[in-house]
């Protein structure tokens, strides 16, 4: 299984740190030449490989860590996302519900990445929290996952475990998934709730 993070700002780098900490290789890409962020990637660890966007989207699992407004541009990098899993880490805070046709933002993202399997997740914590070691007080930091595809949710759940987190599945994007999505100028009820699970 190969992994990529599209967007290497606050949240992209927080995710890259989790991959590096767990010794799992991950490609990272932005709109820029990979040379321009190679030193930032190297500072995180040798597991973090800067690539062009066109190369990075060849990964099996693609984390979408760009601003919500940029998701359509990333989606255009491939004619079809068939066979790929997209992890939507965006928060559409401030985007009007009318602009989204009244649907949850992750549904709009899923439509843009046609053919792909979409999992909403890793988006409910601030980057400064997500980047920390998820082993906390003898437990593991919780990440929430929502998807209309149970297989994709299971796949990303297994990855979250490998990254050291405790995944909690919330169900479909328009069901439990609403708890971790922004709508207009309000946040889902679980956003910013930094929870730890004890086994």
Ligand X SMILES: NC(=O)c1ccc[n+]([C@@H]2O[C@H](COP(=O)([O-])OP(=O)(O)OC[C@H]3O[C@@H](n4cnc5c(N)ncnc54)[C@H](OP(=O)(O)O)[C@@H]3O)[C@@H](O)[C@H]2O)c1
The residues that touch ligand X, with contacts defined as CB under 6 A, are: 6-12, 30-32, 53, 65-68, 70, 73-74, 89-91, 123, 126-127
Residue 21 or 51: which CB sits closer to ligand X? 51
Least distance from ligand X to the Cβ atom of residue 199, Å: 26
Cβ closest to ligand X, residue 8 vs residue 81: 8
CB 18 within 8 A of CB 164: yes
CA dist 109 and 70 (Å) reads 10
Residue number, nearest CB to ligand X: 9
Question: Using CA atoms, how far apart are residues 145 and 160, in angstroms rounded to an integer?
Answer: 9
Q: Is 83 left (phi over 0), alpha (psi -120 to 50) or beta?
A: left
Q: What are 61's two structure tokens?
A: 């699992």
Judged by CB, which is closer to ligand X: 14, or 166? 14
Cβ 107 to ligand X shortest distance, Å: 15
The nearest distance, CB 191 to ligand X, in angstroms, is: 8
Extended beta strands in the chain, E state: 3-6, 26-29, 48-50, 61-64, 85-88, 117-121, 135-136, 139-147, 166-169, 196-197
Least separation, in Å, of the C-beta of 113 and ligand X? 13
Nearer to ligand X, 111 or 151 (CB): 111
């Amino acid at each position: 299984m190969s992994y990529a993070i599209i967007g290497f700002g606050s949240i992209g780098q927080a995710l890259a740190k989790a991959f590096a900490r767990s010794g799992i290789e991950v490609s990272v890409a932005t709109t820029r030449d990979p040379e321009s962020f190679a030193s930032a990637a190297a500072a995180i660890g040798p597991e973090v490989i800067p690539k062009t966007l066109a190369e990075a989207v060849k990964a099996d699992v693609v984390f979408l860590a760009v601003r919500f407004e940029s998701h359509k541009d990333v989606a255009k990098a491939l004619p079809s996302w068939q066979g790929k899993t997209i992890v939507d880490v965006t928060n559409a805070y401030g985007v009007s519900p009318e602009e989204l046709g009244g649907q949850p933002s992750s549904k709009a993202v899923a439509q843009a990445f046609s053919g792909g399997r979409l999992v909403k997740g890793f988006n409910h914590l601030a980057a400064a929290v997500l980047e920390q070691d998820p082993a906390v007080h003898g437990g593991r930091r919780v990440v929430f996952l929502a998807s209309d595809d149970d297989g994709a949710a299971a796949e990303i759940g297994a990855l979250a475990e490998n990254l050291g987190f405790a995944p909690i599945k919330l169900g479909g994007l328009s069901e439990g998934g609403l708890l971790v999505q922004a709508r207009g100028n309000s946040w889902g009820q679980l956003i910013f709730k930094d929870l730890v699970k004890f086994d």
